[in-house]
Structure formats: C-alpha cells, structure tokens
Amino acid sequence: MKFFIDTANLAEIKEAHDMGILDGVTTNPSLMAKEGITGTNNILNHYVNICSIVDGPVSAEVIATDVDGIIREGEALAALHPNIVVKVPMILEGIKAIKHFSSQGIPTNCTLLFTPGQALLAAKAGATYISPFLGRLDDVSTDGLQLIEQIRTIYDNYQFETQILAASVRHPMHIIHCATIGADVMTGPLSAIKALAKHPLTDLGLQQFLADYAKGNG
Ligand code: E4P
C-alpha cells in the first residue's frame, strides 16, 4: 500500500519524506490556501517545490470546470514536472478531460468521488487514480469504508488498472481498514501516519529494557 500525505505544507512533507515511508503527495485548493499560497505563479512554484522534496506522484488540482479549461490547465500543470498528476473533479466535463489526458499519457487523479458509479465512470475514462473521500462520507453518517470495498470489488471484477487512492483519511484505523480492503494508496495527514507507530506496550517495554540495561551497565 502506498502512503501519500495530504498537505501543501513543505515542512510536513519533508518530515514524512525523512521518515522514509512517503510515496507521494496530494494537495487541493483548500490545502494550498491554508498555507497562504495564492496567485498562479506562486501556486505553480509551490508544486515544483513539493516535487523537489518527494520523488513520487504529486497531485495538483485544476480549477477550471469546463473540458477545454481543464485540459489547458492540466497540460500546464503536467509540464511543470514529470511527477505531477493532474487532479480533476468528478464531473462529466472532468471525465471527458480524463479521457483526453489518458490518451496523451498524462496521469490523472479523479477527485471528489463519493459513489461506486462515479468510480466506474472514472476507470472507464482511464483515470490513473480515483480519490473516494471516506472521511467526508463518515462525517455525514455514511460508511466510507463500504464504498472503498465496493470499488475494490468492481475494479477486480473487470481488471481495471485505475488505482484506488483512499482520500480524506482521518485516523490510523482508517489506514488499517483501507489496507485490509486492499486500497492501492491512502492519503491523509501526517498525524494519522505517525499514530500508526504508537502503542503504550511498546513504550512500557522499551522503558523496561532501557532500565534493565542501565542496572547492569551503569
Ligand atoms: C484528497 O485528495 C483530498 O485532498 C483530501 O483527502 C480531502 O480530505 P479532507 O476531507 O480531510 O479535507
């Protein structure tokens, strides 16, 4: 299972990269705004900066919602760096654009995906990744993990190569359940990734080992 980090914060991306477990990065316009990155040039430069830290796919989201605009914007994003993945919203104009990008060999991430039908459409258009937002479904009392399971079954039934990128991950149990289901990738905050390492028995055991060593070795 690949681990992507869902942030535009360069320090967090560097920290995750230094842990040695980071496979890629996802961003969205809200995450860019959170870091105070505004204006086309600054936004484009920021993507290049992210690509210089992590050697893996970096999702950069288009703002346009018409097919021509999405294609224009996506091609400009893809030209920034070979690791850029063009993130396209799950709308019909987006599906047309994904089909175009797929024919040009430009990788895509179909975002804001909430149903198995949307996942089927995106795969048929040739999306490289789809991003089902499991946390946002959980937020409205709908089972986000069940959606990931359904998509896994559909993709396996027809050997679709589109990768399931479980997005809107909120906590370590989301990551564990996604790995159990067989999501190809997960993207979430660094805090959820770091929480995977935590267990009180690990801390207690280490404390004991160090204390016993100190007794015998001064
Ligand atoms: C996906 O790529 C999105 O950037 C993201 O995972 C959304 O997560 P949120 O629901 O925590 O905002």
Reply yes or no on whether 34 is catalytic: no
pLDDT recorded at residue 163: 98
CA distances 142 to 114, 132, 146, Å, are 10, 13, 9
> What distance in Å separates the CA atoms of residue 26 and residue 6, rounded to the nearest whole number?
5
CB environment 2-29: b (16+ within 10 A), e (fewer): bbbbbbbbeebbeebbeeeebbbbbbbe
Q: Which atom of ligand 1 is nearest to the CA of 28?
A: 4
Question: In the 3-class helix/strand/coil scheme, how is the chain assigned residue by residue?
Answer: CEEEEECCCHHHHHHHHHCCCCCEEECCHHHHHHCCCCCHHHHHHHHHHHHHHCCCCEEEECCCCCHHHHHHHHHHHHCCCCCEEEEEECCHHHHHHHHHHHHHCCCEEEEEECCHHHHHHHHHHCCCEEEEEHHHHHHCCCCHHHHHHHHHHHHHHHCCCCEEEEECCCCHHHHHHHHHHCCCEEEECHHHHHHCCCCHHHHHHHHHHHHHHHHHHC
Residue whose CA is at the smallest distance from ligand 1 atom 7: 168
pLDDT recorded at residue 1: 98
Mean pLDDT of the chain: 98
Average pLDDT over residues 4-11: 98
pLDDT digit string (tens) for 182-211?
999 999 999 999 999 999 999 999 999 999
Token pair listed for 60? 């950069």
Flag whether pLDDT at 218 surpasses 90: no
Average pLDDT over residues 22-47: 97
pLDDT recorded at residue 204: 98
In short, whether 162's Cβ falls inside 6 Å of ligand 1 is no
- The active-site residue out of 2, 14, 87, 99 is 87
pLDDT recorded at residue 205: 98
In short, whether 136's Cβ falls inside 6 Å of ligand 1 is yes
pLDDT digit string (tens) for 119-146?
999 999 999 999 999 999 999 999 999 9
pLDDT digit string (tens) for 62-85?
999 999 999 999 999 999 999 999
Residue whose CA is at the smallest distance from ligand 1 atom 1: 167
pLDDT recorded at residue 158: 98
Contact 195, 172 (CB under 8 A): yes
Average pLDDT over residues 13-39: 97
Residue whose CA is at the smallest distance from ligand 1 atom 9: 168
